[in-house]
Chains A and B, each alone.
Chain A
Amino acid sequence: MKIKNILTYCFISSLFLFSLICIWKILVTLQGIELINFNFNKLFVFGIILCVINLLIGKKLNLNIKITILALLFSIFDYFISINLPIWYSFGIFLISLFFFNTIKNYDKNFLSKNHSSQKLFFNFLTLFGITLFSFVILFPFYMMLVTSFKTQALLLLNPLDFSINFAQGLPELFKSYFIVFKDYNFGRYMLTSTIVSLGTVIITLIFAIPAAYAVARLNFFGKNFLSTSILIIYLFPAIVLVIPLYTIFSQLGLRNSIEGLLIVYTATTLPVAIYMLQGYFKSIPKELEEAGIIDGQNWLGIIFKIILPLSLPAISSVALYVFMIAWNEFLFSLMFLDRPNTFTLSRAIQFLNVGAETPRQYLMAGSVVVTLPILIIFVYFEKYLVSGLTAGSVKG
């Protein structure tokens, strides 16, 4: 058994335990509980001691009993060095240490004497640590967004760290910001506009893209190669270089402040990627099926509708979801083209709220939740399709 391995093991394990505890403590602090010290020294040293004990016990004891005892010891220690904390805090500590000792329960003297064991250990913990940290860093802003929308301005100013949700006040009081956002700030209307624009973009894009993609994938015509490369190049051109000419043209044609104008621009900007994604899929459909269709006397339209479309439903759903996501989240064009509140989309409305006179932040966050939630629900529910859409079209964003 190498001393280096033992040292790495103790050091890294304890550090990992401590970082888990830190995240828990931050979350506890955000419930408005006064907690100003992480107690790094004490917890770290005690963590090392427990890790050594874990190593010494090894497999002599039933593993479940071992981890329970170690976790209990750790929680009691933490309970004594921290003052005046509620019981659920300590229970959280207990669960975390239970999880921690569960992951290290299999390490014993034998494992540590193997080759590369310190590096393996290091990477195991790095993975665990990474997963925890990544989840925390990613979910934290979303958590803050949600929780802020349940608070009131006065409470937020009184203690900026108190994000506890008071369920005792009753649901109407809890969801007050949402009622106000929908009633006073007209978010129902904006949501309708956003839905119409996004769905409209999806439908029009598909109507334009499916025939074009079919032609590029299957038919022979002059300029085909040129067309398929230019699709990619056009796709790489960003919205920001289109904004000024489109603004001038749309102002003069009177297309600004209209949903039609927005639909035209969204369709045109998503069309290249939709064609690109669809033609790739169409190419993978066996040609024999279409030939059979031709023998049956189908014309091109019949082939597209009766053979190609039913076979490529998964690809079409990916494209549809991806286009929906782009249109729903789009901000730059809606900022440029819409300045009358009756045509606002959700994104534009939230930006308007923020720029306009001091809007209380809980309303802003309630609006943000309203715009974020639908897209996240769609994403989680249709993840398979959306992920393939994202990978195919994610050169843009």
Chain B
Amino acid sequence: MSSKLAKIEKRTAYLLILPSVLLVFSIILFPIFSNIWISFKNVELKDLRIPEPRAKKLVKSINDNPNKIKVIYKLRNSSLTQEITNVKFKDKYPDNIEPISLDNKCQFKSNLLKCELGNWPKKYRENLEIVFQNVNNKEISKKELKSYKPKLSGKSQNILLTYEFTLNNFKKVIKDKAFIDLLSTTFYYTFFGTIGAIVFGILAAQMVNQKFFGRTFMRSVLLFPYVAPVVALAYTWELLLDPTSGTLNNLLINYQIIDGPINLLGQKYVTLNILGFDFKLRLALTTVIIFEIWRYFPLAFLFILARLQAVPKELYEAADVDGANPVQKFLNITLPQILAVISILFMIRFIWNFNKFEDIFLLTGGASGTRTLPINVYQQGFSIGDIGMGSAVSIVIVVFLLIFMFIYFKLLGKRADEN
């Protein structure tokens, strides 16, 4: 009896999860694996269009002869790169007409015109002309003739499904002189973005954890940058930072803090003189990181605030009795309590910042030294149009991601053991 129930339970469970598993498998897991396939192929954006045999139908009357009509099919292979084999053609005609003469490729049977057009090489073009006459003296309606659309079919090789592989994509990715720069930019962006977001998150959480007027309102406001659409925010920042008409530059010039405008998003380096030493700062990258911090510190804030509110008040009261000052209280009570949250946050945000695409894409498009790995995927795949290369870069990202996840789950497992 119980085993029967367990069986039913099992069957129900599979039934309930099946739709989700199928969907996630086909839209997330399958593409991740097909990245591997594509990255070993030489595919370009223009190869993706499946070659189609196409026909344009023209109907022309023949001089002074209302009983005859000429139909011209302009045939072509839509692909500039691939052959189509075994092209078949089909078109329907009204009852009252029949062809006078027919190409030997074609047949006319029960109002259907069928042709076997053979193989079409790339860029192939041909005109097929057929003259028709009417059978029962009814007028031939051009309109009716035109209303039928020819149907064509043919076989072509789908470049994605062939078994030709190449290592060129990976060779190009690794041999690229900019690859090291690409990696360092990505890590620089990821690391400082993550650290900055967490530091500001801690500050904000500390503030909001105290009682003051308008505290709930403040909590909502702090989450605005995270909740609002990235497109709107990125363009607003772009307008704010614009060198000529941007508000920030104009304000700074107005208060005579700087002499001339600074192109915060378009300048790769700026040289800073600190204590007699010249420092080269990557300006555009720094600006992008600041945007990143601005947009994602609310998340760190939310996590840390939730943790702070769970810290027992007695701990602070005991510290007050002991005569601890605020800094000591923070270092000895607050920090150890939130350390676990911070480490989890760091790992997760690190993984996500590593893959961040939209923010940089919208602000700089990857120009002036802000090209990270995800931006490179887009540029290779869609700006240059080399799908294979884009996939290869995606694979590089996935490999890094797996390493991060391994570390993350290792740490998480360790933490679970401790508790």
Contact with B along A242-265 (1 / 0, CB 8 A): 111111110110000000000011
Nearest B residue to A349 via CB reads: B231
**B310 nearest CB across to chain A (Å):** 12
Interface assignment of B277: CB less than 8 Å from any CB of chain A:
no
Nearest B residue to A242 via CB reads: B31
Q: Which residues of A contact B23 (CB under 8 A)?
A: 208, 264, 267-268, 271
Docked complex Cα distance between A120 and B323 (Å): 12
Interface assignment of B276: CB less than 8 Å from any CB of chain A:
no
Nearest B residue to A267 via CB reads: B23
Contact partner, B9, options A220, A238, A247, A325, Cβ 8 Å: A220
Q: Is the CB of B357 within 8 A of A265?
A: no
Given contacts A236-B401, A264-B27, A387-B302, contact A131 B13 (CB under 8 A): no
Contact partner, A144, options B30, B160, B239, Cβ 8 Å: B239
Docked complex Cα distance between A340 and B319 (Å): 64
Interface assignment of B148: CB less than 8 Å from any CB of chain A:
no
Docked complex Cα distance between A244 and B352 (Å): 19
Contact partner, B28, options A36, A123, A131, A268, Cβ 8 Å: A268
Interface assignment of A65: CB less than 8 Å from any CB of chain B:
no
Nearest A residue to B344 via CB reads: A395
Docked complex Cα distance between A145 and B225 (Å): 13
Interface assignment of A148: CB less than 8 Å from any CB of chain B:
yes
Q: Which residues of A contact B256 (CB under 8 A)?
A: 36
Q: Is the CB of B207 within 8 A of A219?
A: no
Interface assignment of B220: CB less than 8 Å from any CB of chain A:
yes
Within 8 A of A (CB), among B373-419: 374, 377-378, 381-382, 387, 390-391, 394, 397-398, 401, 405
Interface size on B, residues (CB 8 A): 93
Docked complex Cα distance between A36 and B212 (Å): 34
Q: Which residues of B contact A275 (CB under 8 A)?
A: 20
Interface assignment of B221: CB less than 8 Å from any CB of chain A:
yes
Q: Which of B104-112, B176-184, B247-255, B332-340 contacts A (4 or more CB under 8 A)?
A: B247-255
Contact partner, B19, options A208, A364, A369, Cβ 8 Å: A208
**A127 nearest CB across to chain B (Å):** 5
Docked complex Cα distance between A84 and B13 (Å): 76
Q: Which residues of A contact B377 (CB under 8 A)?
A: 240-241, 243-244
Nearest A residue to B26 via CB reads: A268
Q: Which residues of A contact B233 (CB under 8 A)?
A: 141, 372
Interface assignment of B355: CB less than 8 Å from any CB of chain A:
yes
Q: Which residues of A contact B394 (CB under 8 A)?
A: 240-241, 243-244
Interface assignment of B168: CB less than 8 Å from any CB of chain A:
no
Docked complex Cα distance between A130 and B208 (Å): 10
Interface assignment of B240: CB less than 8 Å from any CB of chain A:
yes
**B264 nearest CB across to chain A (Å):** 14
Q: Is the CB of A138 within 8 A of B20?
A: no
Q: Is the CB of B245 within 8 A of A347?
A: no
Docked complex Cα distance between A389 and B198 (Å): 20
Q: Which of B32-40, B66-74, B125-133 contacts A (4 or more CB under 8 A)?
A: B32-40
Interface assignment of A196: CB less than 8 Å from any CB of chain B:
no
Within 8 A of B (CB), among A205-251: 208-209, 211-212, 214-216, 219-222, 224, 227, 233-234, 236-249, 251
Nearest B residue to A354 via CB reads: B235
**A53 nearest CB across to chain B (Å):** 26
Interface assignment of A169: CB less than 8 Å from any CB of chain B:
no
Within 8 A of A (CB), among B220-247: 220-233, 235-237, 239-240, 245-247
Q: Is the CB of B306 within 8 A of A332?
A: no
Q: Is the CB of A212 within 8 A of B326?
A: no
Q: Work out how many contacts link A and B, with CB atoms closer than 8 A.
A: 280
Contact partner, A212, options B17, B160, B240, B247, Cβ 8 Å: B17
Q: Which residues of A contact B218 (CB under 8 A)?
A: 131, 134-135
Interface assignment of B6: CB less than 8 Å from any CB of chain A:
yes
Interface assignment of B86: CB less than 8 Å from any CB of chain A:
no
Q: Which residues of B contact A123 (CB under 8 A)?
A: 326
Contact with B along A177-193 (1 / 0, CB 8 A): 00000000000000000
Docked complex Cα distance between A347 and B358 (Å): 11
**A31 nearest CB across to chain B (Å):** 13
Interface residue ranges, B against A (CB under 8 Å):
6, 9-10, 12-14, 16-17, 19-21, 23-24, 26-32, 34-35, 38, 43, 48-50, 158, 160, 203-204, 206-207, 210, 212, 218, 220-233, 235-237, 239-240, 245-247, 250-251, 254-256, 294, 296, 299, 302-303, 306, 323, 325-327, 348, 351-352, 355, 357-358, 362, 374, 377-378, 381-382, 387, 390-391, 394, 397-398, 401, 405
Given A157-B245, A245-B34, A368-B232, list of 19 further CB < 8 A pairs? A156-B245, A208-B19, A215-B14, A221-B14, A234-B29, A236-B405, A241-B394, A241-B398, A243-B377, A264-B23, A268-B27, A332-B357, A350-B232, A365-B236, A372-B228, A379-B223, A386-B227, A397-B296, A397-B352
20 A-B pairs whose Cβ atoms sit less than 8 Å apart in the complex: A137-B294, A157-B245, A211-B20, A212-B17, A214-B16, A243-B378, A244-B38, A245-B30, A252-B48, A268-B26, A329-B229, A332-B357, A347-B230, A350-B231, A365-B235, A368-B235, A369-B232, A375-B228, A375-B229, A390-B299
